[in-house]
Each structure stands twice: as structure tokens, then as C-alpha cells.
A and B are shown apart, each in its own frame.
Chain A
Amino acid sequence: MRLYAGKMLIVDLTANTVSTEPLRQEWIREYWGAWGLALRYYCDAVEPEIDPLSPENVVVIMAGPLGGTLVPLASRLCLVSKSPHTRTIFESNIGGAFGPELKFAGYDGIVIKGRAEVPVFLKIADDRVTLESAESLTGRGIFETEKLMEAAIGTPEAKCLAIGPAAENLITFSMIGSESYRQFGRGGTGALFGSKNLKGIVCRGTGKIDVAEMGAFLERISYYKAHDLLTDDNLWAKTDGTPILVEVTNEMGIHPTKNYTRGFNGRKEKLNSDAIQAAKLGDRACFACPMACGKFTRVNSAEIEGPEYETLCLAGSNCEVNDLEAVIRFNRLCDDLGLDTMSCGSTISLAMEMTETGRHNFNLHFGQVDEYLKVIYEIATLSTERGRDLAQGAKKLAAKYSADDLSMEVKGLEMPAYEPRGNYGMGIAYATSERGACHLRAFPIFAQDPHDIDALVTEVVNAQNANGIKWSMGFCDFWGTVNTQIEAELMSAGLGEPVTAEELDRAGERIWNLSRLFNLQAGFTAADDTLPKKIMERPLEDGSQAGRVFSREDLTYAMQMYYRQRGWDEQGVPSQKKLHDLGLDQLCVKECRS
């Protein structure tokens, strides 16, 4: 096949078997790859009511059609399953080089079913695929697990996906790591592997990816790389990477500080891009990416690729830890033990506020570094009472101690580092994301009027659809100007057959609606499309948006406008007409229909 490897790997851990099957051709032109295709495979395999951590649940990992080629920023790998943290449909994508390696080994994706009797890891050496005992890996951190799996396959050129102790302990915000500092973040991807007794996957691929006509394909890549990617709109990623957002969000007054009490951090200089540049040893890139947004830093003996903006804010400003070395140490511990830095940071900042307001004493205080670093290990290993408490995540922690006015999550997913009171668009994005509070579905922070609900609803809907197909192509967020026209041209050149922007647009909307159907069937309703109490009731302090709330009335209005624009009814259920238009009414997976 062209662009695609053409094969799926099917791993049944209960039966201890590995097999392959051809890629489902009839789904390709509807779902394309990565997110979309993984979602389609997933919906075909499970009932939406499924318990995410049961052996019956399935995990689908899928590369994109442009992954492994010279198309820049297009080699991300998606994972789709039901999240143990939110119990919604869930997608996460990872950079680095595992996705391309999987395609070079001959597979577009992996469907993982069942539960192994004893801990195992999956070893993929081109067409030699085996399940190996992971007994000697149990309890080890991600960094060491990757090294040992590389040794087991016999080459440091292999790429790994691995879990650490947090995931083995089924913590619902644990994650799968790769190449030390990259993750399938958010939502508990790690616990999905952990529940299946799957310690990791090591892959070495030596094969090739074909295209229709190499010269024409390379010409299109060079053109869009020079004329669209490497332009002022996107070059911040090369020069600064995500830390640039520390100054941007503070300027906008939407920089979460002190567990979302304030919108401005007066000590931002400790964590901003200048601080990162001062600590930088070099730039790091994902596969085939000329931007290299990863900044490898060192402060004293603490080294890491990062920290990225979300961590700088949620584990820095939001915990009032204005100390880059401490944030690096936090980040590294989370990456090795296997915890999502956003959820972990947000849960700790909640515990800090609960302690300081007398709700419950966790001995965690804003700006106090020692206990903040100590508690990470306690969470990952469930070794203390407070560790076990915080390991539940913000929503359950707050519920246990009657502090739901302080917990900052939507559908159980801790909020990203953009304050919705200062930008209603982010609030609309968080409330409507299929996986809970998420900034990777729509990102309207640069909207002209951050409180114009009508305009922001339109922007959010358009961005969600665009990202539906963008993540299905395997693209990275940071090619900010890529669009379905460019995607269609690259696909056409690679496949040697015409692909139109219109069919890609429709696919994005189709993916969004299928996710919605899944969540409705899983038991979610319009009442879950909401925001934290603090956002709706307590005015934001400090910064240029001080005094703002995103009131319940405004949110109700925004949701009604959103549903209408989506072609959904007042309860947020897609209309039959919308489903028909998208070809979802014919969907043979009846369990995905509401």
C-alpha cells in the first residue's frame, strides 16, 4: 500500500496470541488514520458501558497515514480507549518516533485485548512479534523499563512504550511514556496497560513506506514546509517552544495561579521562556520535525526535556512553586514513575488549597517544595494515606472532603493551564471536549474578544472539527496553519489518487459526532457539559481579567448555542439529519448510537 503499512497487529493478552489482519479498507476514506481510524476500530470492539479497566476493554493504537514520511510534524501516534479517569471516550497522542517505527515494522496500528495472566511486554521486530515475560521489569520506572526492553530486543535503535509503578497501581491519571520524556498523557493511558498486565511495547522496524511518486510527493512537502510551516505563525515552536506561553497567558490575565485563584503570576520570570533558555543545553525534535520545540534543560543536577508550558504552570505557578529546579524535579519524577504532570500538579494544588483553607490537612502548602516533591512518590506507589487520597485525582479528592468548590476539572479531567474566566472560549472548549477539560480540541486564546460567546462558539466548533481530522492525519498541534487543503494535497500526492479538503472536513465532523454518540451511550448527558464551581461563582483575582466569572447563565447560553451550531438537540444529542449527513446513521455499530 501507499502511505499506509496496510496491516493491523491484533494482540489478545488473555489468549496469549498475536496475529495480523489487513487494514479495514472500507474505513480508511471515512476515518483516515490515527484518531479517526482508532476510534472506528474501538467502537467496533466494545460497548460504551464497558468498565475501562476490565479485561473486556480494548486499547487501539494507530499511526497516521503521513507518519514515517518526510511530511513534517505528521508522525504522531494516537491511542483510543475508554478513560478510567473520566469514563468518557478517550484519545491521546504521542510524539517521538514510536509511531514511525511501528510503520517501518509493517503495522499501522495495534489492537490490544484481554488481560495477561502475568506481566508481559510485547516485542515487535518487524514480522517477528512475541509476548515476553515482564516479571523482571515489574515495579521499575519508565526510564529503566525502556532501557531493559531495548536490551531484550537487542538494539538501542528500538523504540518503546512503557509504564511505571503508577500505572501498575492502576492510578487513573498514570500514563504511558516513550523516549523518556514523551507521553500518551491525560486520562490514565498507563492504567489501561496496567490493567492488562502489559508493561510495555518495544518495536524495531526496518521496512519502508511507499508513496505514489516520490518526486511529486517531495515537491509538495518542500513547498508547504517553506511557504506555510516555517513562517512567523509557527516559528515560536523552534525558537522558544511552549514556555513562550508563560508570558503570553500572563499578559492575557489567564495564567492559572494558586489553584486557579489568580490569573497572573507576579514571579513568572522564574518560569518563563527566558528562564528555560538560560537552563537550555539543546533542542530536541520528534521524528521528521524541523521545529525541535523540545528544550533540554539542566538546573544543578536536574535534567529534563522540558518542562513544557502546562507543567510550568500547573506544577509551577498554580502550586506557587516559582522555582525551575523544583519543577524540573517534579516533571522528571512524574515522567519516570508514570504520572500525568497536569493532573498531578492540579491535584496537588487542590490539596494545597484544601490544607490552607482548613478543609483537610495534607501538609501541603503553596510554595513549599519538599512535601510537594515527596508526595509524588507517595501518589505513584500508594504508600501513604495522603498519597492514596491524591491518587484519586482532583474530582474524587474534593468529593471525599466536601471541597468540590475548589476542584478544577470537567468530567473528571483536571483543567489545562488557561483560565476560562478570562477567556470564555477556553471554557466552552473544556465543557464540550469529549474527554473532559482539554486544550487540544479547540484553543481560542487569541480570539479578538475573549468574552464574545457567539463568536467563540463558532471558533470552538470549527477548531474541534479541524482537529478531528488533523489528529487523524497524525499532525502535531504546532503546525498551527496546516489545514485540510494542505492535508488533502499531501495525501493526494502520497496516495496517487485525489483526496479533497471537503471529504477531510466531513471526516473531522464525523469523528466528533461519533465520540459524542459514544459518550451519550456511556451515560453522559448535557448536564456534564459544565465547568467547575469556582469558575462559575468565584471572581478571578489579579491580572487583566480580574473580577470575571463565567456564570452559569452564560454557560447555559453558550451550550445551547453550541448544540444548535452542531446540529444537536437541546439535550446535546445529534439529530438524525446530522447523523445521516455524516454517514453515521448507517453505522453498523449500533451500540454507538444514542
Chain B
Amino acid sequence: MKKQLFANPDHCTGCNRCALICSALKEGAFQPDKARIRINNFPLRGYSVPSICFQCPKANCMDVCPSSALYRDADGVVLVNENLCTACGTCVSACPYGMMEQGAAGIAYKCDCCGGDPACVRECHADALLYAVGDSEQIRLKGAQMKYRTAVGTPAEKRHVMAEKLMKKARS
């Protein structure tokens, strides 16, 4: 079994250290808006939901890319070949979780799990992020999160839809 990234919103405190370290390492500056992991905060209900790339086994982004710029590595992580990316943005619309975005030149970017040692997991002090093979409970939780797919909207809107549903369930 391969390791994968898991998020447990019940433990997330909303601090954004994951997004900060991600942007620092990927963009060279502190810029949560460009992070490959995003936090949705619901302060009134005291709940936060990390949005992560699930590295979908059947990935919409890969399916729709007209230039085959997206590929899967041996660990199961979906990666962008920047040389092949034509900045068309099709993958951004296709991702049902809002986890594909475009950089300044339009080139798509996404979570690459830092090559097998995700920095976000190391920065999380709340046990809300985990990189592991995963036990049955973690795999069940991930499956439940993946059910909340959204076909239309901006990436931020898609992330918020899932996050709000998870929040309402947790705080019901």
C-alpha cells in the first residue's frame, strides 16, 4: 500500500500553517492564496476544513487535459508537466474539489505531496493532516469527503461547498 495525504477537519484549528509553509516552499514567499492546500474557516461555528488534493484514482483533471500535461507518478500522485501545459485552464474547471489552479502565466499547479514528505503535515500541530498508508477509519473519512463534488464554480466556491457541508454535519 502507498502512503497518501489525509485531512481530519475535526482536528483542524484553522491556523493556516500548512498553507503558509506550502506557499513558502512552492512560491518562495508567504502567500496562502497560492498554496496547494487551503483552509476554510467557519469561526462562528468553531470549525475549519482543510481542502487537499485527493490524488483521485480516477482524476478528472487528467481525463480532460487536451495536451496530456497531467500524469501520475509511481506513488499515485498526479503531477503537472509544465512543458506540456498550454495554460488552457480546462483542468481547473474539471476538478470537482477546487484543487487545481493557474499561476501567473496560466500554468496549472497542484499539490505534489512534496515528493513524498509533505511539508504541510510537518507544520500541522493539531493532527489534522496525516501522510500515511492509512487505516480503515482514515480511508473511510477520505471517502466521505470525496463524495462532496461540485461541478461548477470557482475553485474557492467548490472548496467552500464541501467545507460547509462537512462543517454542518460536524456541528449539527
Q: Which residues of A contact B (CB under 8 A)?
A: 68-70, 72, 96-97, 104, 143, 155-157, 179-182, 205-211, 214, 218, 230, 238, 281-292, 294, 296, 303, 305
Contacts and interface: CB of A to CB of B under 8 A. Distances in A.
A230 B34 CA distance: 28
Contact of A208 (B23, B44, B45, B160): B23
B150 interface: no
Nearest to A143: B44
8 contacts: A70-B17, A70-B24, A104-B32, A156-B160, A284-B13, A284-B14, A288-B17, A294-B46
Contacts of A292: 13, 15, 125-126
Contacts of A286: 15
B16 A97 contact: yes
B37 to A, nearest CB: 14
B121 interface: no
A282 B20 contact: no
B161 to A, nearest CB: 11
A296 B156 contact: no
Contacts of B30: 68-70, 208-209, 211
Contacts of A291: 125
Interface of B: 10-11, 13-17, 20-21, 23-25, 27-34, 40-41, 43-47, 123, 125-126, 156, 160, 171
Nearest to A289: B15
Contact of A155 (B10, B126, B156): B156
A302 to B, nearest CB: 12
A287 B24 contact: no
Nearest to A297: B46
Nearest to B125: A290
A265 B47 CA distance: 33
Q: Please list the 5 inter-chain residue pairs (A to B) with the smallest Cβ-Cβ separation, ordered nearest first.
A: A296-B46, A208-B31, A285-B15, A290-B125, A285-B13
Contacts of B44: 143, 180
Contact of B20 (A70, A181, A210): A70
Contacts of A97: 16, 41
Given A292-B126, A305-B46, A104 B31 contact: yes
A358 B125 CA distance: 53
A321 to B, nearest CB: 23
B22 to A, nearest CB: 10
A283 B13 contact: yes
A207 B126 contact: no
Given A282-B13, A284-B13, A303-B46, A218 B24 contact: yes
A210 B23 CA distance: 11
A286 B17 CA distance: 10
Contacts of A285: 13-15, 126
Contacts of B24: 70, 214, 218
A210 B125 CA distance: 24
Nearest to A207: B31
Nearest to A291: B125
B43 A181 contact: yes
A205 B23 CA distance: 14
B20 A69 contact: yes
A210 B43 contact: no
A145 to B, nearest CB: 12
Given A97-B16, A284-B14, A287-B15, A206 B33 contact: yes
A104 B21 CA distance: 15
A288 B16 contact: yes
Contacts of B10: 282
A180 B43 contact: yes
A157 B31 contact: no
Nearest to B43: A179
Contact of B15 (A182, A281, A288): A288
A143 B156 CA distance: 22
